[in-house]
Amino acid sequence: MESKFPWRALIYAYLSMFAFAVTFQAIPPVLGFIISSLGISHTYAGALMSFFAIPGIIIAIPGGILSDIYGPRRMGIISLIISLVGCLLVGLGGSFSVLVAGRFISGIGALIVSIIALQTISCWFTKKDLGSAMGIFNTAMPVGTILSLNIFNRLAVVWGWRIPIILTAAFNLFILALYLFWHPGLPNKGAQLKANKPDVLKEIFSVKGVGWPIWFVAAIWMMFNAAGISFLTFASDYYISVGYDVGYAGFLASLFMIGSLVFSPLVGYLIDKAGGEAHFIIAGTIVSAILLYLVPVTGINPLYLGGLLGLSAAFIPTPVYSLVPKYLPPNKQGMGYGILSAGLNIGILAGPLLVGLSYDQVQNYIFGFKLMAIFSITTAVIALFLQLRFPTPTSNRKEK
């Protein structure tokens, strides 16, 4: 294997995850504009995030299996076309039902793209470098989210809320062109694994034998994202409601991701050296739960709270991504990331929907932030159980 290829694969995975991030996070910074334009409730607005996740619950695992069989390039091309169509429907749609349909369709494509990106890294990098690669890769989501939260709202003020959505479609088209002409595919060992393509249905049914640890990792990912995506969906609107201007409110919401941008590579490096994935998750989610609870009920400067929340949140994604190759062999890792994606999408579906519903019931965000804190502390409990019941296989850390 040529040494340049893993890093080339990382670039493609990074850009793919960035496309997922801006497609997914295109709605929160323009949420208030959509509510005003279409005259919808906060519950319906939260549904625009939730409906992005619904297809992922159904197709994430089959999508990961298909990527195991047919490879990331072929599946990526199909998925990016689907995501592009969905983004255009949202950007050009004239009614709430069309926007929901567009989010549903773009969710199908974008979520499979995120699975493909993770599979690409896990196949190209050896165990001793995987944590560092995942740490770098994990900055793609915060970069996309931070740019979305700080730019899309300003674009919406000047040109309307549709322009940011159209820009996400344009970026999906750009990534599609890269997949068509320059994607590196899988390394030789991956190609050999796919040489004798198994029966798709048989592979799908084999998911029940994948082992309990990966399901607990998926549960961790589900609860963390229920908290995190709820915060990213409603934090900007909350800060506007308490008197901050649109631009600063978007910045305060984006602080959740800035910690991951800065600290994820360091967390990945530490995991490569010492392991302890569950310990990072437990510490990060306990601190996050405390901070989420404090946001609407304390006079502490939101800049400090947001910065600390971003720092604590940085301790979770890289360990979660790194656990999959430590519990599953290479030919099952697409399936494993599909299971993670299914958990992610359940969290995305339930979190914003419940928080939006709580706002409509009580007309404030206090109970919504309490819900986010509950989601976060539940993540810590699951991670503790995983560590006690299914310790991370130490032998994998010694692989070269």
| 151-180: pLDDT as tens digits | 998 999 999 999 999 999 999 999 999 988
pLDDT for the residue numbered 168:
95
pLDDT for the residue numbered 6:
83
Average pLDDT, the chain: 86
pLDDT for the residue numbered 313:
93
Considering only residues 82 and 138, tell me which one the structure prediction assigns the higher pLDDT. 82
Out of 126-130, 184-188, 234-238, 341-345, pick the least confident. Answer: 184-188
For residues 102, 181, 131 and 252, what is the CA-based torsion angle, rounded to 10 degrees?
A: -40
Give the phi and the psi of residue 63 in degrees, each rounded to 5: -65, -40
Give DSSP secondary structure letters for 363-398.
Answer: SSSHHHHHHHHHHHHHHHHHHHHHHHHS---GGGGG
pLDDT for the residue numbered 399:
44
For residues 102-111, average pLDDT: 92
Say whether pLDDT at 288 is over 90: yes
The span from the first CA to the last CA of the chain, in angstroms, equals 14
pLDDT for the residue numbered 1:
42
Helices (H), the chain: 4-24, 31-38, 42-70, 72-92, 96-124, 127-137, 140-147, 153-159, 162-181, 188-193, 200-205, 212-241, 246-274, 277-294, 302-313, 317-327, 333-362, 366-389
Closest CA to 163 of 172, 173, 153: 153
Evaluate whether 200 touches 323 at the Cβ level (below 8 Å).
no
Helices (H), 71-92: 72-92
pLDDT for the residue numbered 237:
87
Report the topology of domain 4-183+204-391.
Growth Hormone; Chain: A; (1.20.1250)
Percent of the chain scored above 90 by pLDDT?
Answer: 42
The residue with tokens 């600290």 is: 263
Question: Cα separation of 51 and 99, whole Å?
Answer: 10
Residue 334's pLDDT band, with cuts at 50, 70 and 90, is: confident
For residues 267-291, average pLDDT: 92
For residues 10-37, average pLDDT: 90
- For the question of whether the overall pTM of this predicted structure is more than 0.85, the answer is no
31-40, 73-82, 329-338, 391-400 — which one is most confidently predicted on average?
73-82
Question: Cα separation of 253 and 234, whole Å?
Answer: 8
pLDDT for the residue numbered 395:
41
Out of 49-53, 83-87, 174-178, 275-279, pick the least confident. Answer: 49-53
Sign, Cα dihedral of 94, 95, 97, 102: positive
pLDDT for the residue numbered 25:
86
Query: What distance lies between CA 241 and its chain's CA centroid?
Result: 27
pLDDT for the residue numbered 301:
92
Residue ranges per domain, the chain? Answer: 4-183+204-391
Say whether pLDDT at 330 is over 80: no
Amino acid type, 143: V
Residue 80's pLDDT band, with cuts at 50, 70 and 90, is: very high
DSSP at 290 = H
Query: What distance lies between CA 15 and its chain's CA centroid?
Result: 14
Tokens describing residue 109: 């494509």
Residue 200's pLDDT band, with cuts at 50, 70 and 90, is: low
How far, in Å, are 162, 234, 244, 363 from residue 167 at the CA level? 9, 22, 26, 33
pLDDT for the residue numbered 171:
95
Say whether pLDDT at 343 is over 60: yes
Say whether pLDDT at 196 is over 70: no
pLDDT for the residue numbered 123:
82
Closest CA to 331 of 212, 132, 196, 224: 196
Say whether pLDDT at 398 is over 50: no
Residue 393's pLDDT band, with cuts at 50, 70 and 90, is: low
- Helix orientation angle between 302-313 and 246-274, rounded to the nearest 10 degrees: 30
pLDDT for the residue numbered 191:
47
Q: Please classify residue 27 by burial: count the beta carbons closer than 10 Å to its beta carbon, then call 0-12 exposed, 13-18 middle and 19+ buried.
A: buried
For residues 185-190, average pLDDT: 61
Say whether pLDDT at 325 is over 90: no
Q: Hey, how many other C-beta atoms are within 10 angstroms of the C-beta on 270?
A: 19
pLDDT for the residue numbered 379:
98
